[in-house]
Amino acid sequence: MKYLSTRDKEKSVSAAEAIAQGLSDEGGLFLPESIPLLEQAELESLLKMHYRDRAVFIMGKFLDEFSKEELLSFVKQAYSENYDDESIAPTHFLNDSTGFLELWHGPTCAFKDMALQMLPLLLTASLKKIGEQRKVCILVATSGDTGKAALEGFADVSGTSIVVFYPRDGVSDVQKLQMTTQRGENVLVCAVEGNFDDTQTGVKEIFGDKDFAEKLNEKSIFLSSANSINWGRLLPQIVYYFSSYCDYVNSGRIKMGDEIDFCVPTGNFGDILAGWYAKKMGLPIRRLICASNSNNVLTDFIKTGVYDRNRKFFTTISPSMDILVSSNLERLLFMLSDDSAVKGWMEELKTTGKYEVGEKVLSAIAADFDCGFATDEEAKLCIKKVFDTEGYLMDTHTADAFVVLEKLRREKGETFPTVIVSTASPYKFCDSVLESLGQKSDLSGAKLINALEEASGTKAPLPLCGLDGKRPRFSDCIAKEDMSKAVFNFLS
């Protein structure tokens, strides 16, 4: 299967090239030239499989230059004892029409692990396949969860190094502690003054800097991305939509072929886009519900067709969704518009911060997506209500999605079977979750974890308990302008 770029249809690269490169030269995102369609019998064959085999099957559809043996060895490394649940991505049912797809049983307790335990394997294998001799340096801008998950995936992987930048004003205490205590000889973690968009812009500028690339090339190093713009990150995420659907059928609550909705807490649009791919591959999904927090650019866009990032930026209790420019939306727009409009819209976004898609794209979006947003207040009330009435503890991002789902259900007067994609362990956002439960949250770091265990009567995931007493290895905070210098010094 060939891959093309959202800004150059004539481009044609292999999966290995797309994964190795991350972003296309002209700034576009890679995507497969066509979407493989699953037959009913194939879908049924997934029912009896373990998550690992479902992953081999689904990913194999897009990776014909990787053998089945290769993929089997990848899933064995990416999805096994490093997860604290044998089924890897279990769906927890609140009742017959509402399930939570728990994507946080991996080493960093957030859904990013689903992709980032796999990406280093796909990437190093891809580099071999294309005969790349240079070393790769992974450059990451993170709003919190990507950074730790990427560090955990790439730590001490030979032939790679990794640099993670996070916004000083915009990650939780636990997230910061997770990153600054990262082990590994090939890792650098650094705070940047400003918010996530500043950090992401800084990283994009480094990627676009030809002189910088040449300087690194002289050292036989090149840059690649572990952000969700890399196809190698999107692909593993398609799997869990299939897996959760199968688990829904296996639970006896729906029949094979029945449609369900997925409700997805959304930031960069990577998670929900993977769901859209699953739908187009033939998984019986009626609608994907795009849930935002107060940074509701996507809600407005899906409703009106106008994408406008010129608005107040909110720092919320769901920081991984505090995003005004959702990179992966570009892939959806490319798939839904039959001309080369995308390039123009992205130009407009860069220069004016705004673009408008036509009626045709807007109605195509409306056919596949619903949307809504939740305020911090609503999310907190929801965490308390669901804990008090159902004994189920959600994190703040998952709560945003639940709020949006409940609003839509009220509006439409229906209760359609829905899986809420649960993207983080509540223990990653202890302070906000504690506050929601009406408890004191002014403790710091590991103490918060103990407090939440007491307040909720649940156990913290092991990797987070281990943070207690660990010393941070990284403490630098730099200005955006100094980011490339920091990368260069680290690699020198």
Ligand X SMILES: *Cc1c(COP(=O)(O)O)cnc(C)c1O
Q: Contacting ligand X (CB under 6 A), which of 172, 225, 423, 456? A: 423
Range 198-217, binding ligand X (CB under 6 A): none
Contacts of 181 (CB under 8 A, 6+ apart): 467, 470, 471, 472, 473
- Provide φ and ψ at 176, rounded to 5°: -65, -45
Q: Say whether residue 142 binds ligand X (CB under 6 A).
A: no
Examine the residue annotation and report whether 112 is marked as an active-site residue of this protein. yes
Decide if 327 contacts 269 (C-beta within 8 A): yes
Contacts of 203 (CB under 8 A, 6+ apart): 139, 140, 141, 165, 227, 483
Min. distance of Cβ 429 from ligand X in angstroms? Answer: 8
Q: Contacting ligand X (CB under 6 A), which of 51, 269, 301, 334? A: 269
* Rg over CA atoms, the chain: 21
- Provide φ and ψ at 184, rounded to 5°: 115, 140
Stretch that binds ligand X, among 50-58, 77-85, 121-129, 266-274 (CB under 6 A): 266-274
Q: Say whether residue 424 binds ligand X (CB under 6 A).
A: yes
Name the residue nearer to ligand X (CB basis): 11 or 153. 153
Distances (CA, A) of 128 to 19, 132, 340, 347: 12, 6, 33, 35
Strands (E), 122-174: 135-141, 160-167
Name the residue nearer to ligand X (CB basis): 321 or 325. 321
Q: Contacting ligand X (CB under 6 A), which of 21, 180, 244, 320? A: 320
Q: Contacting ligand X (CB under 6 A), which of 167, 232, 265, 461? A: 265
Q: Contacting ligand X (CB under 6 A), which of 110, 216, 460, 483? A: 110
Extract the tokens encoding 364.
């195509």
Extract the tokens encoding 451.
């407090």
Q: Say whether residue 145 binds ligand X (CB under 6 A).
A: yes
Q: What binding mask, one character per residue, do residues 273-292 give for ligand X by CB under 6 A, x or -? A: --------------------
Name the residue nearer to ligand X (CB basis): 145 or 261. 145
d(CA 271, CA 47): 22
Q: Contacting ligand X (CB under 6 A), which of 228, 244, 296, 299? A: 228
Name the residue nearer to ligand X (CB basis): 204 or 397. 397
Contacts of 393 (CB under 8 A, 6+ apart): 383, 386, 387, 426, 433, 456, 458
Count of positions on this chain that bind ligand X (CB under 6 A): 17
Stretch that binds ligand X, among 27-35, 68-76, 108-116, 374-382 (CB under 6 A): 108-116
Name the residue nearer to ligand X (CB basis): 145 or 198. 145
d(CA 473, CA 194): 22
Catalytic residue chosen out of the listed positions 11, 112, 279, 343: 112
Name the residue nearer to ligand X (CB basis): 200 or 441. 200
Contacts of 252 (CB under 8 A, 6+ apart): none
Min. distance of Cβ 270 from ligand X in angstroms? Answer: 3
Stretch that binds ligand X, among 63-71, 105-113, 217-225, 442-450 (CB under 6 A): 105-113
Contacts of 412 (CB under 8 A, 6+ apart): none
Q: Contacting ligand X (CB under 6 A), which of 223, 241, 397, 426? A: 397
Q: Return left, alpha or beta for 159; rule: phi > 0 is left, psi -120 to 50 is alpha, else beta.
A: left
Name the residue nearer to ligand X (CB basis): 127 or 394. 394
Q: Return left, alpha or beta for 438; rule: phi > 0 is left, psi -120 to 50 is alpha, else beta.
A: left
Q: Say whether residue 321 binds ligand X (CB under 6 A).
A: yes
Q: Contacting ligand X (CB under 6 A), which of 112, 148, 176, 279? A: 112
Decide if 328 contacts 229 (C-beta within 8 A): yes
Q: Own/partner pairs for 346-351, CB < 8 Å, 24+ apart?
A: 346/7, 346/27, 349/307, 349/309, 349/325
Q: What binding mask, one character per residue, do residues 171-190 give for ligand X by CB under 6 A, x or -? A: --------------------
Stretch that binds ligand X, among 23-31, 54-62, 268-276, 299-307 (CB under 6 A): 268-276
Which of 312, 324, 309 is CA-nearest to residue 354? 309
Q: Contacting ligand X (CB under 6 A), which of 271, 322, 330, 376? A: 271
Q: What binding mask, one character per residue, do residues 50-89 give for ligand X by CB under 6 A, x or -? A: ----------------------------------------
Stretch that binds ligand X, among 85-93, 203-211, 212-220, 264-272 (CB under 6 A): 264-272
Min. distance of Cβ 271 from ligand X in angstroms? Answer: 4
Decide if 424 contacts 111 (C-beta within 8 A): yes
Q: Say whether residue 7 binds ligand X (CB under 6 A).
A: no
Applying CB under 6 A, the residues found at the interface with ligand X are 110-112, 145, 228, 265-271, 320-321, 397, 423-424
Task: Give the catalytic positions in this structure.
Answer: 112
